[in-house]
Amino acid sequence: MATLDLHRISKSFGTAKVLHDIDLAIKDKEFVVFVGPSGCGKSTLLRIIAGLEEASSGKVVIDGADVSDAHPVDRGISMVFQSYALYPHLTVFENIAFPLRVQKLAEPDLKQRVMRAAEILQLTDKLKLKPGQLSGGQRQRVAIGRSIVRNPKVFLFDEPLSNLDAALRGDMRVELSQLHRELDATMVYVTHDQVEAMTMADRIVVLNGGRVEQFGTPMELYHHPATKFVAGFIGQPNMNLIPATVLGTDGGLTVEIDGGHRMTLPVDSSAASAGDKVEVGIRPEDVDLGDGGLSISVRVLERLGGVSITYGTIGNGETRFCASLPGDAAVREGEPLHLSVAPSDCHVFDASGRVLRRTAAPALVA
Amino acid sequence: MIRQCCRWLAVALWGLFLTETAQAASPIRPTETVRRKVLPEAWFAWLLLTPAMVFIAVIIAWPLVETIRLSFTDADLGGESYVGVANYVDLMESRRFRQTVTTTFYWMFLSVGLKLILGLIGACLLNAAVPGRAVFRMLVMPPWVIPIAIGVIGWLWMYNGYFGLLSGMGQRIGLFDGPYAFLAGRTSAFYSAVVTDVWVGTPMITLFFLAAMQGVNRDLYEAAWVDGAGRWYRFRRITIPQIMPVIVSMALLSAIWTFNSFDIIFILTQGGPRGATTTLIIDTYKVAIGNFKFGEGAARAVVIVVLLATFSALYLFLLNKVNKTYGVK
Q: What is the DSSP string of B59-110?
A: IIIHHHHHHHHHHTB--BTTB--B-TTHHHHHHHH-HHHHHHHHHHHHHHHH
- Cα separation of B67 and B62, whole Å? 8
Residue B235 has pLDDT above 90, yes or no: yes
Q: How open is the CA angle A179-A183-A185, to the nearest 5 degrees? A: 105
| Contact between chains at B220 and A131 (C-beta distance less than 8 A) | no
Closest partner residue to B228 among A84, A103, A130, by Cβ?
A103
Find, in chain A, the residue whose alpha carbon is nearest to that of B242.
Answer: A89
Q: Nearest-CA distance from B326 to chain A in Å?
A: 4
Quote the radius of gyration of chain B (alpha carbons, Å).
26
| Annotated domain spans of chain B | 2-71, 89-325
A130: closest chain B residue by CA: B327
Q: Which of residues 72-91 of A touch B (CB under 8 A)?
A: 72-73, 77-79, 81-85, 87-90
For B232, the closest chain A residue by CA position comes to A102
Average pLDDT taken over every residue of chain B: 85
* Digit-coded pLDDT (tens) for B172-184: 898 888 888 888 8
A131 contacts on B by Cβ (under 8 Å)? 327
Q: What is the ipTM of this complex?
A: 0.81
A310-315: list long-range contacts, CB under 8 Å, 24+ apart.
A310/A337, A312/A337, A314/A240, A314/A242, A314/A257, A314/A258, A314/A259, A315/A242, A315/A257, A315/A258, A315/A259, A315/A260
B248-278 pLDDT per residue, tens: 889 988 998 999 889 999 999 988 788 899 9
* Percent of chain B predicted with pLDDT > 90: 49
Contacts of B228 in chain A (CB under 8 A): 71-73, 99, 102-103
pLDDT 10s digits, B162-173? 888 888 898 889
Residues of B whose CB is below 8 A from A99: 227-228
Q: Does A99 touch chain B (CB under 8 A)?
A: yes
Q: Which residues of A touch B217 (CB under 8 A)?
A: 83, 85
C-alpha distance from A136 to closest chain B C-alpha (Å) = 16
Nearest-neighbour CA in chain A from B237: distance (Å): 9
d(CA A145, CA A113): 10
Structural domains of chain A, with CATH = 4-231 (3.40.50.300), 238-356 (2.40.50.140)
Cross-chain residue pair A130–B327, CB shorter than 8 Å? yes
**What's the pLDDT score for residue A172?**
83
Residue A147 CA: distances (Å) to CA of A65, A155, B11, B100:
21, 7, 63, 57
**Burial letters for B235-249: b for 16+ Cβ neighbours within 10 Å, e otherwise?**
eebbbebbbbbbbbb
The verdict on A108 touching B (C-beta cutoff 8 Å) is no
Question: Choosing among B227, B238, B329, which should be mutated to test the A contact, i.e. which has the most A CBs within 10 A?
Answer: B227
**pLDDT-based confidence at residue B7 (cuts at 50, 70, 90):** low
What is the per-residue pLDDT for A362? 66
DSSP-derived 3-state class of residue B245: helix
A72/B223 touch (CB, cutoff 8 Å), yes or no: no
Facing A132 at nearest CB: one of B219, B220, B327: B327
The whole-angstrom distance between A99's CA and the closest CA on chain B is 5
CA-nearest residue of chain B to A132? B327
* CA angle centred on B90, ends B88 and B96, rounded to 5°: 115
Average pLDDT over residues B29-43: 62
**Dihedrals φ, ψ of A297, to 5°?**
-100, 125
Residues from chain A that touch B327, judged by Cβ atoms under 8 A, are 88-89, 130-132
The nearest alpha carbon in chain B to A96 belongs to: B227
Record: contact B244-A73, CB cut-off 8 A: no
Which band of pLDDT confidence, cut at 50, 70 and 90, is reported for residue B21?
very low
Interface residue A70 vs chain B (CB under 8 A): no
A315 interfaces chain B, CB cutoff of 8 Å: no
Rounded CA-CA distance A98/A113 in Å is 12
Distance CA A145, CA A83 (A): 15
With 80 as the cut, is the pLDDT of residue B99 above it? yes
User: What pLDDT is attached to residue B27?
Assistant: 47
Q: Is-cis flag, bond preceding B203, omega within 30?
A: no
Nearest to A131 among B233, B242, B327 (CB): B327
Nearest by CB to residue A87, choosing from B220, B228, B244, is B220
Compute the radius of gyration of chain A from its Cα atoms: 24
**B89-325: CATH superfamily:** MetI-like (1.10.3720.10)
Chain B contacts in chain A segment 141-180 (CB below 8 A): 146, 150
How far does the CA of residue B215 sit from the closest CA of chain A (Å)?
14
Min Cα–Cα distance to chain B from A73, Å: 5
pLDDT in tens, chain A (366 residues): 589 999 999 999 988 999 999 999 999 999 999 999 988 999 999 999 999 999 999 999 998 899 999 998 889 899 999 888 999 889 999 999 999 999 899 999 999 999 988 988 888 899 999 998 898 888 988 999 998 898 888 999 998 888 788 878 888 888 888 888 888 889 999 998 888 899 999 999 999 999 999 999 999 999 999 999 999 888 888 999 999 999 988 888 899 887 778 888 898 888 888 888 999 999 999 999 888 778 888 899 999 998 999 999 987 778 899 999 998 888 888 888 888 898 889 999 999 999 998 887 666 554
Sign of CA dihedral A197, A198, A202, A206: positive
